[in-house]
Structure 1
Amino acid sequence: MALDQDSEAAKAAEASAQKTADGATTGMADAAPSPLEQELARREALCEQAERVAGEKDWHHGSADLRRLADEWRSLRRWHDPREDALWKRFDAAREAFYQARDDARDDARKKKEALAAEAERLAGSTSWKQTAARMREMMDEWKAAGTCGHEADEELWQRFDKARKAFNAAREEDYARLEQARAQAKAAKERLVEEARKAAVTSPDWKGQEWRAASQRMKDLMARWKEAGVADRADNDRLWEEFTAARQPFFDAQHAHYEALEAAQKKAADAKRALVDEARALAAADDFSREATERAKDLDRRWKQLGFAGRELNDTLWEEFNTAKEGFWDKKRAFGEARHEEWRQRTQDAIVRRQKRISDLQQQADRLQERLNNAYATDHVEEMQDRLEQKLDLIDKIKAEVEDIKSRLD
């Protein structure tokens, strides 16, 4: 760049000198430009170069270029011409603009790098490996784009920034190593679980509810251990999951078939029990308490006991309905029997009352006969009255015996 600028400066100086010479030729035919005019033209060219350097903001080469231009400026003769002072102010303003912009840029770079170093130090302890690693790469690009803040400051901030990045990378590598070990352990554990699942999937057609429940619990335990085993590499994990699922499937197929058949049997039993409920309700509503109806009611219980389980939700409900209908018949039968018994008791008590009244009447008749006998004469048919008295007394004893017998049966 310095060589290009020298060449351009030379061309500019020659052009300025030529312009001055042309002006002089116009004014005075054969007059050459004066040394002052030539050096003013050279200083003009140096100002233009300094302004171009300030505008390019190439801090590494620009500073050297400005020093070279300043050295060249100082090498020129001092004419004490006011125009020289004006050009110097212009030249110096370009230099000041360059150095001010450089200082501002370095200050901005320092702030950016300090922020990046602080952020890297905060992220050094992060365990969000993927997200943080991506951010670290972005921060490196931002670091490069931030520019320089001076050699010493650059080096100090870089040490902080790089140390934090290395700490994060080391922790990530260590975690990846632990993860690889855990994946290997998970793979071995899941391979064992696949074998256990194959053995646990064997079933028997003779199994009852307890055996099925125990086998189902074993499958749940295997699934829980599978989840606790951790995660292997994706390829191994997917393959082992397919093997584990295939190993358990025979059990689930057999379990499904078993419960499907069980459900069908329970539905059949439920339908039969509903029919018995309806039959018990019809029997209770008929008000028929004959021996035949009673035997039918007893037979309902025998038939109910022969039916199977109707399912957890229905079995108790159907039993309550059946028992209510059945007891309805027996309650009505008992009420009917009690009514008949009460009617019999009433008739029996009425019979006792009638007999007791007859005894009272007979006793009165016997008493009158006895009184007549006591006052009778031999000619008053004494023997006939005595026979009649004895008959009445015998009848009284007979009726009393009947009353006692009826009372015993009543009690």
Structure 2
Amino acid sequence: MSSDPWGRVDETGTVYVRTAEGEKVVGSWQAGSPEEALAYFERKYEGLVVEIGLLEKRVKTTDLSAKDAQTAIEHLRTQVDEHHAVGDLDALGKRLDALVTTVDKRREERKAEKAKQADEAKAAKEKLVAEAEELAQSDQWRSAGERLRALVDTWKGLPRLDRKADDELWHRFSHARSAFSKRRKAHFASLDAQREEARKAKEKLVAEAESLSKSTDWGGTAARYRELMTEWKAAGRAQREFEDDLWNRFRGAQDVFFAARGETFAERDAEQGENLKLKEELAAEAEKLVPVKDLRSARAAFRSLNERWEAVGHVPRDARPKVEGRMQAVERAIQEAEEAEWRRSNPEARARAAGLTGQLQDAVEKLGKQIDAARAAGNNAKADKLARELEGRQALLDQAMKGLEEFGG
């Protein structure tokens, strides 16, 4: 018989292992000595030790799933429980128990981590849905569309939730994208319709602009072109493929008209410049008639100058007030001379002027005596009042005397 601390072989070749529960039969050995039998089953034990050590390392250092770890533990436990090895099997059982505890703990940690990741994924997807629903109401078609496409990519990178929650959030997310797409499609359809209307309106404006390009009604046509430009701006933009061509035609028609008008105005300006020189010469000749000495000859000379003036024609608009003002000044001087002559030759007017002058002289003399009497009586207030009245009458008298002088004395 042979034995060691963990097993023995009896005289029949039966191999035993010692456990906390007592000896357990390991097997029967008939092929050699008892020492060889113990050595054989001790090697099997060492094999179990290595396998358990490897499993412990895998559980601690790799992503071995709890399910796979549990399967491996159960396989090793079966081998330990079947007592086909000689060694400290109880110690191996305790190591396997410890591994079960570690795997269970790891399972709970992973479950908690998975739950946490699921909560984070759900929160992230809810945030994406909220942003998508907000973007669904946006009118920033390009930036909102690009952002929605980026949200889809982000969604794809997030973990899936439980089917019900994931489907509900995806439905909201998809609905928001569809709502935005429908609004954008409707917007651009409406925009296309508006641009088609703008194209038709601008084609009419172009046709009218081209029909006016040969007009010589400079003022009226220029005004109509301004109105056409206002209508053009109000019409909005046509489709891109039509807009530039329509504008070039519209602008080209105006350029033809305004170029022709510019040439005509340049010729007219040259002519009016010559007219201005002639009228300035006539104005200078008319100004020599002032002051009027011989009314009859001055009147005749001015009439002749005015006839020549009318025959000259237009002058530049900005120069017109000044040169016409010179002639008007001469005309007023002649009219004033005529009025003065009429007053001098009108006996009735002279008599009325003389009578008014006499009345005012009498009133002035009377007020002077009343003032002296008031001063003598010590009534200064009355004297002052009368003095103010005297000032007014004296002023009227001075004007009357001046008018009388115009009648020749």
- Tell me the TM-score normalised to structure 1 length: 0.59
Structure 1: gaps of 5 or more residues: 1-28, 54-61, 205-210, 346-409
Alpha-carbon separation, structure 1, partners of 2:235 and 2:307: 55
- Residue in structure 1 matched with residue 33 of structure 2 by the alignment: none
- Of 195, 199, 206, 1:183 maps to 195
Aligned residue in 1 for 2:73: 73
Cα distance in 1 between the residues matched to 2:285 and 2:159: 99
Q: Compared with structure 1, are the counterparts of its residues 187 and 331 closer, same or farther at alpha carbon in structure 2 (3 Å cutoff)?
A: closer
Alpha carbons of structure 1 residues 247 and 337: separation in structure 2 relative to 1, 3 Å: closer
1:367-378 correspondence runs (5 A): none
Q: Secondary structure at the match of 1:203?
A: coil
Contact 1:201 1:250 in 2 (8 A): yes
Specify which structure has the higher proportion of helix.
1
- Residues 203 and 254, structure 1, Cα contact 8 Å, conserved in 2: no
Aligned match for 2:55, one of 23, 27, 43:
43
Aligned to 1:322: 327
Q: Decide whether aligned partners of structure 1 residues 237 and 44 sit closer, same or farther in structure 2, where only a CA change above 3 A counts.
A: same
Structure 2 gap segments, 5+ residues each: 1-38, 81-89, 351-407
Residue 255 of structure 1 deviates from its aligned partner by 2.4
Match of 1:138 in 2: 150
What does the per-residue CA deviation read over 1:335-354, in whole Å, with 9 as the maximum and x for residues that have no partner? 7999999xxx9xxxxxxxxx
- The question of whether the paired residues in 1 share the 8 Å contact of 2:195 and 2:236 is answered with yes
* Match for residue 169 of structure 1 among 181, 205, 213: 181
TM-score normalised by structure 2 residue count: 0.59
Name the CA shift for 1:44/1:256 in 2 (closer, same or farther; >3 Å).
same
What residue is the counterpart of 2:247 in the other structure?
Answer: 241
Counterpart amino acid of residue 149 in structure 1: L
Paired with 1:68 and 1:275, the residues of 2 have a C-alpha distance of 121
What is aligned with 1:398? none
3-state SS of 1:284 partner: coil
Deviation at 1:88, TM superposition (A): 5.0
The structure 2 residue matched to 1:303, chosen from 299, 302, 308, is 308
1:52 has 2:62 as partner: yes
Q: CA deviation at 1:303?
A: 3.1
- Determine helix, strand or coil for the equivalent of 1:146: coil
Aligned counterparts, 1:179-328, within 5 A = 179-204=191-216, 211-284=217-290, 289=294, 295-328=300-333
Task: Give per-residue Cα distances to partners, 1:246-293, cap 9 Å, x unaligned.
Answer: 3343322222233333333443333433444444445436x7648666
Shift, 1:163, TM fit: 0.8
Matches within 5 A, 1:89-104: 90-104=102-116
Residue 148 of structure 1 aligns to a residue whose secondary structure is coil
Q: Distance in 2 between matches of 1:327 and 1:202?
A: 46
CA contact (8 A) 1:193 1:244 kept: yes
**Change in CA separation of 1:262 and 1:98 when aligned onto 2, cut-off 3 Å:** farther
User: Alpha-carbon deviations, 1:32-57, whole Å to 9, x = none?
Assistant: 45466335404313313xx532xxxx
- Give per-residue Cα distances to partners, 1:215-253, cap 9 Å, x unaligned: 223323333333344433212221222223333433222
Cα offset, 1:157, TM superposition: 0.8
In structure 2, relative to structure 1, the CA distance for the partners of 1:284 and 1:96 (3 Å cut) is farther
CA distance in 2, matches of 1:85, 1:111: 39
Residues in 2 aligned to 1:76 and 1:279: alpha-carbon distance in whole angstroms: 138
Structure 1 position 298, deviation (Å)? 3.9
Specify the code of the residue in structure 2 equivalent to 1:232.
A
Number of residues paired by the alignment? Answer: 297
User: Which residue type is aligned with residue 228 of structure 2?
Assistant: L
Give 1:162 shift.
Answer: 0.5
Native 8 Å contact 2:66 2:104 kept in 1: no
The alignment's C-alpha RMSD in Å is 3.9
> Aligned to 2:246, what secondary structure does the other structure show?
helix
Identity of aligned residues (%): 30
